[in-house]
Copies of this chain bind each other. A is one copy, B any other.
Amino acid sequence: MKLSTKGRYGLRAMIDIGMFSTEEKVSIKSIAERQHISENYLEQLIALLKKAKLVTSSRGARGGYSLSRASDKISLGEILRALEGDLNPVDCVTNNKDNVCEDSDSCATKFVWKKISDSINEVVNNITLKDLVDEQFEIDHLTQEAHIG
């Protein structure tokens, strides 16, 4: 019941892009340095974000990534689902033919998994990337002040 590094690193990458892509494209190298994540691995995570059309890229020198939409139009749910797949604790909640136990319609636990799933999605669908970018700017600002003071 844990998120993998895909979700954790990938979200940090998205916040990073949200913070720094206003002026120019953000390169994988610069994200990797700021976030202390392996460049090659980050590349794969950002590929997932690109596939989900959450970021756009430009190749070649001075290329890099930027958000495909304004940060307040990107939900945390979209980001996490792009990185981790659906956020259901158990597959029988979605009606994919495979991975479903044979008795799923006659099993009381199904209702439980649905409730958990709903509550997770309720949370993540109502937080935007902008919320997180703003929060991170705020934290960095306070940390900066603490260093000065």
Contacts and interface: CB of A to CB of B under 8 A. Distances in A.
Contacts of A8: 90, 109
Copies of this chain, whole number: 2
A79 B116 CA distance: 14
Contacts of A7: 1, 89
A89 B12 contact: no
A76 B132 contact: no
Interface residues of A, number: 41
Contact of A3 (B1, B15, B122, B143): B1
Interface of A: 1-4, 7-8, 11-12, 15, 36, 76, 84-85, 87-91, 102, 106-109, 111-113, 115-116, 119-120, 122-124, 127, 132-133, 135-136, 139-140, 143
